[in-house]
Structure 1
């Protein structure tokens, strides 16, 4: 029997660093095709060659004369997989060919859906179409009815999830809803990056379709596309810093997004911690610098404004990036305090409220 068109499927897997259950390995014209976006395991190649070289391995014996061997092991590294001979394409029945064609059409529809979604996400913008197709080929479709638990707090993370349609809610302690995610948004990545258990639960709010990427494939993707590695680890750092700030801590070198902690909250955190240091802000319309000495405001600069007026203009900012650096130069430590901290904050927020009222009145005319 000729094995130039044999197909093997992974049926069991224990710690294999590359392949997953259900993935197919195809022998075509004496070459081996592995699943898209997966590296080739030379140990497995040797096992496949050995399997296809066993001429009696797939022969159909007459009843009572023996048992057809169709399962093989590969355990040449730290893991173990069992793969099983599936079929030879040239000997498939018409029904098998029709079924395979239907499965392929369904797979192509999912692939196109995944590709279109990934192309719209900023994180995958650096990837070309071929790379994006490889990534899309690793995704699996899952559907959840309303109210279904997708991730449970305290459990190990197993997948990255991308919302295709529907909505999910992120739930903290005491069933407090922390956020809602919709189409195109990602969750589950933090536990995969950190190796820590899931810190919040995620439930489907309505009927939801998700594209999922296993933790093993996620690692392959990061190794293959270093630009994504930088992006995801930046997310990990930002999330850790946001958690630190929510815990009431701020440290030198910290950076963050004002969408996570607004300027007024950041300033109050520095004040309550009695920190001495420098906050630099990169905003949509310019840069800003604010200096603190033992928690008190001693200087603010924003565009063409300085002092209190610059501070008041910054208090309403919730878009942009910031960084905090501990310590001031000696001459900066001698700067006079701009005023009582809470008094400045209250005055600034009063001005913001008045401006909002004026804007509302003008919009109503």
Structure 2
């Protein structure tokens, strides 16, 4: 139609019968008022591309068309979040200006080796988190490298530069003494935490059996994270699973209330666990450098944040700088907070906070 498409992604699903979290809709169109002495007409055209293998929804199409009419052109729609009008359920969608641009790159070409492995790779958990329409685009940014037994892929303490997926073979995760503490095999991933949290590599990875490893550099990894909410959800689940395995915080403790110290549990881990366990309650943190902080959660979403003179996102980012203080989580929130809108999509807040933290203050080492 001559105008760029804009994208809306589902960031919240309230029992919608048609769509899932992370589904993407492409919208384009124009609206023109035709006025003259004899006529006063309004012409509008809009095209809404529904995600692959999803049924078209007239209610949602009407909601998106109203945006075309309001802003006259699809590509003039500003950054926003909207709620569909709803039927038996509803969804919330987000539009970001970055979505005007494609992830495609003329220099990114899917190698013959990767093309021949498409069926295998598409079954991996990471690639399952990506919409089928975008799978080829994302795979273009990966490269393949083979390793022999005994090769070191990354070392503890190095600056993280790549995200890795094991296509075949296996690797060992080594502790500081060089002892294997776990094994990763086909479909498993590593290296993501150093990129997401801007930390140095936390463990050495050594090839156990000859392996073929997919990898992607930091810049392209960040592009994928920013533009595909379902990938963010995939990594948030990994982070939550690792927290659960380490028994840092038990979900049972959260249901009845919890107290502890930030010196034992980093703020980002505490917030992440409350989010992934969909907890509702108030987190109070005392004995901080700037006084007391208070955060409210509803079903895992952060809806209120206050620390010293800061509130909202600013308070959340500031608390991540704290490595001391005592916290208490109390289940339940006041009735007047039941409808309070969330501050922002949690994984985006967390990733942005960790990036800012790395720029401002070195993280303490054990």
Per the shorter chain, which TM-score range?
0.3 to 0.5
Structure with more of its chain in strand, by fraction: 2
Looking at CA atoms only, which structure, 1 or 2, has the larger radius of gyration?
1
TM-score computed with the length of structure 1 as normaliser: 0.38
